[in-house]
Structure 1
Amino acid sequence: MTTKIQRTSCVFFVALFVLSCAYSEKFKLCIVDGRGGFKRSGRYCPTLDKPESKAECVLGIDRLDCLRKIAKGQADFSVFTPEDLVTATNSEIEVLLTNELRYTETKYEYEVVAVVQDSAGIASKHDLKGKKFCHPGYGYETDWTRILSNYLEASVIPQSCETKFTITENRIRASSQFFKSACKAGPWVHNPKLDQELKQKYPNLCALCDNPSRCEGSDKYWGRRGSLFCLTDGAGDVSWARLDDVRLHFGLVPGGPESSPEGYSFLCPDGTTRPVNGTNPCIWVVKPWPVVATKRTAAQDIQEFIASLSGADSFSWQAAVLSLIETFHMSINKLEPIEPIETFLEKATGFLNANSFSGCHPPRTIRICTTSIIENAKCSWLRESAAVYGIEPDLDCLKADNTTHCMDAVSHKAADIVMVPPDLLNEAIQKYNLKSLFYETVNDNAKYLTVAVTRNGTTINKLEDLRGYKACFPAFDGVAWNSVVFTLRDKNLLRSCPYTAAATSFFGSSCIPGLPHNEKYCDAVSYRGEFGALRCLLDKKGDVAFISKNSIVDFVNSPIENKFGRITPELFSVMCEKKSEGCHLTWSPVGQAMVRSNSTTLWTEDTLDVFLQLDSLFGRSYKSLTTPLQMFGPYNGKSDILFHDNTARLRNVPMVRNLDNMQRLYQDFLVDNKTCVPSSSSSSKCIVFVLFICVYFAIMWY
């Protein structure tokens, strides 16, 4: 009897366990938080923790991070744009598409058309040469990528690839020569100075604008409707516009007409025209709707799951899922059958064709040198993302073992660009003949601020007081070492040449990892780097450590360095001679991109504009609800990959803003690196000796 009861109980608990496992299995939805009001995970994800919920949140850094998570099985589904899908295809990631997310009943998010004024005599696309062109302009690329905004010109204008012009200028020049005049307002390139130079060089492309001298995004003829006003105000002959805007502008849908459709026609890719007020507009290119994508094995289940969400109570977990996938203003459309990316995009008129226009031949490519597998992987995603948003020249990613090897590769033309930390800046300039192209600019609390740090209670107030004291440096020839040497030099505290010998003589037996013939001073392996210099100070191997001020907080917060929690900021004291001027000896951005010093101005401008465009699309100031790729943030769970996480923006000057006024930029010291000359006392002795010799020989002569 007992055995039978035990067996019954066992069966019951096994069944209960199986049911609970099945019940607890949830679909993993990958969520990317936007900024401000678009941070949705904190608001809706807790609702999915309810036992009855059939979904749970997986947080992604960006949309492409969610794509990788699906490919790895860490998530089941997420929402992607058509540009994300092109990137996925180029990166050989396979997903299936189950649903479209629409906010209207139209087949595509938008369709792009060319509208001509009948009186202009444009019967086919071959008649466009010498006409006046109304273009929507630039500055809102997340909704209207450069690939789509330039599609008409790419289709009808012979593109030149003259080597004496950048790729961007080649395109601008070709349009300038093709059209009599145009209004293409907004930033042509992301360097304001270069933008103005190009607009002055090709003024006919701004001539139709309401304010041709400025040709900016505030112009009356800039933007989606701006190009249509340019046409119907009589300024231009042809407009490149969205079909939904055309219908609204000409009163073909409710909303009030801005102009009568009489006298205007659609220009068709097949060389014909059709009336604007007809029922069959001709389309040049379309943008598909965002879609739900999932791994192949879960596609059918995900489609049925999403279809079951509609009509849910506003406080239910189903409503939370809908809000997380941004369908609170959308309708969900089943894709029948469930489709792979290629099939879905092939149905979208012109979209794949727009994304496959070839560049210059031979191709122009910017080769980025990376130093690890994960860095090279992030670079590859950056390359694919740049391509789908129409950024040129193309990027390529090469891998070396470390930054030194990358600097050597750039120097010998095996690569073109490398990210260099402050500690290697002097070596990059002096040994490899590199120059900075742009900087990872950061706020003051993230800059490298070289300071002198002592143990609290030490009575040292000035650099002069450190003579004979033992010093701890992160590395020889790094930013801290060079900053100290330059400061000692400027204070006339170095008594002999060369500066390296003079600086080591100024201090007592010090720890300078990497200093030639320095074995007698310290265990350079244990005390290397910023944290090593602070350990050197705490272990009383030195009396002062020269490090970045911001490293103190990182050191105290490090679970490895401070595993027992005994290290506090109060243990350290930052030496400060003049608080009004800042306590730092020098400051530096966290890193810079470096290229060959003999790079041409043409190549430098082209390359700089590429990275400024990348920053605009994928940096802190991205304009879409969520970002496809986060340039400045963790990648696959790792920090500071390719770029530093705390980078505010990329600039061709080391400051975040032009009004920044922090003094003593480290790079200025390197540029102003004076030749070592003997001290005044030595020079005096030399002069006295020479005079003595001269007098001696003069007496002997006579």
Structure 2
Amino acid sequence: MHLYIRLLILACLTTNVLCQLRREARWCVVNNEEEKKCKDLVSAIAKRVAANRPYPPWSYEYDALPEFKCVRGKDQFDCMEIISRDEADLIQLEPGMGYTGGEFYNMMPLVAEKYLNGSGEEGLEYWAVAVVRKDNPDISLDNLAGKKACHPGVGRAAGWVYPVSTLMEQDIMPIDECNVPVKSAAAFFGDMCAPGGLARYYNPFGNNPVTVCKNCVGTGENYCSLNDPYAGYMGAFICMESRDGDVAFVRHSTIPQATKNSTSLPTDFELLCPDGRRAPYDAASTCNWGTIASHIVMTSAIRDKALRNQFKMLLKLMDWDFGVFGQNSDLFNLFVSVSYGKHDLMFTDVTMSLKDVEEVGDGSRNTYYTWVGEEHRRRLLVLNMCPVQQARWCVISRHEMSKCENMIMAFTAKGLKPDLNCVLGLSVRDCMDKIAFGDADLITLDAADVYVAGKYFNLVPIAAEDYSGYDEAKYYAVAVARKTSSYLTIFNLKYRRTCHSAVQTAAGWIIPIDKLIETAQIHVKGCNIYRTVGEFFSKSCIPGVLWEEYNRYNTNPINLCEACGSSGYERCQRNDLELYYGNSGAFRCLTERGGDVAFVKHTTARENTDGRNQAEWARNRRSDDYELLCNDGTRADIDSWDVCNMGKVPSNAIVTASFKTEEEREVYWTLINYAQQFFASDTNEDFAMFSSPMPDYKDLIFQDSTVRLVKITKERQNYNSYLGPSFIRAMERMRNIDCVTAGQQRAAPNQLLVIVFLYCLWGHL
């Protein structure tokens, strides 16, 4: 076999054919010391090959296996990213970080560290312990709050996941904020050294307390990183030993390992047990915070199986050559790091050998998920425990329900808490009712609906859509017309055909109708704005205008729905059953010549032209075919909305019931804020919060033009403060001349019966 491989290599070298028989095995290192050890291993392999020393009978020669190389990463997260980009292949990770690598970077284990001799499965686990100084007898589980804590790193199994989850589960550590256990730990402990606590992965909003790193001693980029002198098991122990901390959360082998070349003795330390006892340093079998699977060498799961097997063969050969009982340990010691000035470089220093994970548990533990085990996974759920059990989002159509169900799966996959659930409402007003009565929690509303929700349903805004990325929770209402209709201005709209996003919405109704009244083009008689508008325009599509909650006396003109695009019961509905519903729907109405002008938000025309919307109706639309109608009677291109608009509008807002406590509102905000860190991008293949999956149905749950959600401060969490005096005045003017809608705030029974029939009908389609 070896002769055959050599002949193939010779054939490649002597022909003009491109041959790639030998792949690289690139190990990702995270600091200078680890890089030095890795390069020394490369040199040792070269010396061993040059010396022509014998190979074990079960292995190929090094020349027939992937070539071992070293690649530098900034930290373990950077290494995971590098491996996912196929710029590196291998890294050793402890189980907590290994779970993260599997879940978020599609990595899988190859071999595991074994801490006892023998060919069986003994020695593939260790205990998590809390270590205190014996001369500090007053510290106990009961008074651990406020004590200085030393951790090997946030996310580590023994140093973080197990102890923090235990403290939470025993109601010793209060939950400070859902989805952010670092904040709970920081609020519970005093000054800490928890490396990684301020890193982006564990601090996505940049507001973790600085106390999580206060006891760290690194400088520059190493401060509070996994390269901090107080990082890792040995670093956390030294942090406690040097009295910079009161307790260190490490693995049970750390105590004898750390005191081996120290002035301290193992007997100078004791274990703090989760049942409140203190025990001798060597009593870890009965005084520990959990049993943890051993560290693993991982690679990308997208590497083909043949290559993964070659990686395993290479690792086993290096173990055979340079391990504890290595046949060539005179050249290199794989599991020793002391000569490099640090501990646990590339592998844990207490490792005795490496074991193929497929040989463990009859091959049932060969994934990151099964390797860490059920208990580890349960503790991760505990870390994300939340005082609020669920957040129920109210949606108003089957398409929104479909997106909401996808949102549930996406949030669950990331372990976000509280659990998201979807509630199907019959209309926006019905959702307001449900939230007011405690049957739902959240819905995203147009500014005009925020007014109604606040004034008549006692709902409050907690977050707003931002369409610019500059904390500007606003947009402009504009009138869009075809460029070929050059005769059309804001002052000659009488008897024209119009397209509106929906009745009683800001950009589609409140602002444009208020503008027509302000310019004296419309004179409302008899306190019936709908009849007046129906007489002013020849025909329109104003979704929802014939619903009983907006048409109490059944007097609204039928021509207000004659320009709509759907048919039957779906026609002119105030939801996406109507093809011309919403801002994009109103623009579609204009493009398909259902109307002469569309009243929409300023981003709508740009979103649906020049190939940005792949729906068939929008596919060939050009942005320069449309213009804006300005207040002075002129026209402007669609990007001049900042100087050519009908008015500024507060952006859509997420609302909840006013009886929700401040803590509950904060939980809801944390959920959606955390979610947008994962799903804000429209190109996210898993889920896109601000994109609608079906081209013909836009702005589902959120406006598609949303860049991000921004928190509304506590002081502005009421409809008056959020909407502002200018928009409130516009709403009040409209209410004063609207005797049809005013006072009718609940969804009308007959209208609800029709909608119930529709949803029942869908269930049989």
Q: State the TM bucket, normalised to the shorter chain.
A: 0.5 to 0.7
Q: Is the 8 A contact 2:603 2:705 kept in 1?
A: no
Please state if 1:150 is matched with 2:164: yes
The answer to whether structure 1 residue 453 and structure 2 residue 480 are counterparts is yes
Partner of 1:416: 441
Picking from 516, 519, 523, the partner of 2:563 is: 523
Structure number with higher relative contact order (C-alpha < 8 Å, ≥ 6 residues apart) = 1
Per-residue deviation at 1:230? 5.3
1:133 equivalent in structure 2: 148
Equivalent-residue separation in structure 2 for 1:227 and 1:35 (angstroms): 22
Q: Given residue 512 of structure 2, which amino acid in structure 1 is its aligned partner?
A: V
- C-alpha contact (below 8 Å) 1:114/1:267 kept by paired residues: yes
Distance in structure 2 (CA, Å) of the matches to 1:563 and 1:620: 24
Deviation for aligned residue 1:148: 4.7
Residue aligning to 1:583: 644
The one of 578, 600, 608 equivalent to 1:555 is 608
Closer/same/farther in 2, CA of residues 260 and 550 from structure 1, 3 Å limit:
farther
Distance 1:190 1:672 in 2: 41
Task: Give 3-state SS (helix, strand or coil) of 1:132's partner.
Answer: coil
Is the 8 Å Cα contact of residues 450 and 655 (structure 2) preserved in structure 1? no
**Structure 1 pair 535/277, CA: closer, same or farther in 2 (3 Å)?**
closer
> Could you say what secondary structure the match of 2:660 adopts?
coil
Distance 2:80 2:107 in 1: 28
What amino acid does structure 2 have at the position aligned with 1:525? Answer: G
2:506 partner letter = V
**Equivalent residue of 1:612, what SS?**
helix
Amino acid at match of 1:338: G
After superposition, residues 295-694 of structure 1 pair within 5 angstroms as 306-307=308-309, 333-336=356-359, 337-339=362-364, 345=370, 348=373, 351-352=376-377, 354-355=379-380, 357=382, 364-370=389-395, 372=398, 374-382=402-410, 384-385=412-413, 388=415, 391=417, 394-400=418-424, 404=428, 405-420=430-445, 425=450, 428-429=453-454, 432-443=457-468, 449-459=476-486, 463-464=490-491, 466=493, 469-480=496-507, 481-488=509-516, 495-496=523-524, 498=527, 500-501=529-530, 504=533, 507-513=536-542, 514-516=544-546, 517-521=556-560, 522-526=562-566, 528-529=580-581, 530-538=583-591, 542-556=595-609, 557=611, 558=613, 560-562=615-617, 565=620, 567-576=621-630, 581-586=642-647, 591-616=652-677, 618-619=678-679, 630=687, 632=689, 647-653=706-712, 670-676=727-733
> What residue in structure 2 maps to residue 114 of structure 1?
130
Q: How far is 1:572 from its partner? A: 1.0
Give the match for residue 698 of structure 1.
none
1:151-210 CA-to-partner distances (Å, cap 9, x unmatched) read: 35236654679xxx988999989997x87x5548868998999x79xx8xxxxx959946
Aligned length: 539
Secondary structure of 2:533's counterpart equals helix
Match in the other structure for 1:21:
none
- Residues 110 and 357, structure 2, Cα contact 8 Å, conserved in 1: no
TM-score, length-scaled by structure 2: 0.53
Residues in 2 aligned to 1:335 and 1:645: alpha-carbon distance in whole angstroms: 46
The 5 Å alignment of 1:31-180 reads 38=81, 82=99, 100-101=109-110, 112-121=128-137, 126=141, 128-129=143-144, 132-134=147-149, 136=151, 148=162, 150-154=164-168, 158=172
Give the counterpart letter for 1:528 in structure 2.
Y
**In 1, distance between residues paired with 2:605 and 2:654?**
26
For 2:540 and 2:645, how far apart are their aligned partners in 1? 21
Q: Which runs of 5+ in 1 are unaligned?
A: 1-33, 45-79, 88-96, 200-204, 212-216, 295-300, 313-328, 655-663, 681-702
Residue aligning to 1:319: none
Q: Does the 8 Å contact 2:132/2:269 carry over to 1?
A: yes
Contact conserved, 1:494 with 1:502, CA < 8 A, in 2? no
| Percent identical residues | 15
State the one-letter code of the partner of 2:626. F
Structure 2 residues not aligned, in runs of 5+: 1-76, 88-96, 116-122, 217-221, 315-345, 348-353, 547-555, 567-578, 633-639, 714-720, 738-765
**Structure 1 stretch displaced more, 394-403 or 165-174:** 165-174
Question: Are the equivalent residues in 1 in contact too, given 2:392–2:423 (CA < 8 A)?
Answer: no
Output the CA distance in 1 between the equivalents of 2:130 and 2:110. Answer: 27
Question: Matches of 2:703 and 2:126 in 1, distance apart?
Answer: 37
1:544 Cα deviation after fit? 2.2
C-alpha change, 1:396 and 1:571, in structure 2 (3 Å) is closer
Distance 2:113 2:699 in 1: 41
**TM-fit CA distance, 1:451:** 1.6
Query: Cα–Cα, structure 1 residues 442 and 538, in superposed 2: closer, same or farther, change >3 Å?
Result: closer
Q: Secondary structure at the match of 1:545?
A: strand
Q: 1:631 to 1:265 in 2, by over 3 A?
A: farther
Q: CA deviation at 1:438?
A: 1.6
Distance 2:305 2:642 in 1: 63
Residues of 2 paired with 1:228 and 1:36: CA distance?
A: 26
In structure 2, do the counterparts of structure 1 residues 239 and 614 end up closer, same or farther at CA, with 3 Å as the change threshold? Answer: farther
How far apart are 1:595 and its partner, in Å? 0.9
Deviation at 1:547, TM superposition (A): 2.0
Structure 2 distance, partners of 1:561, 1:464, is: 33
- Rounded Cα–Cα distance in structure 1 between residues aligned with 2:524 and 2:491: 16
**Structure 1 residue 360: deviation in Å?**
8.9
Q: Quick check: 1:483–1:586 contact (8 Å CA) kept in 2?
A: yes
Q: CA RMSD in A?
A: 6.3
Shift of 1:455: 2.0
| In 1, Cα distance between equivalents of 2:272 and 2:647 | 61
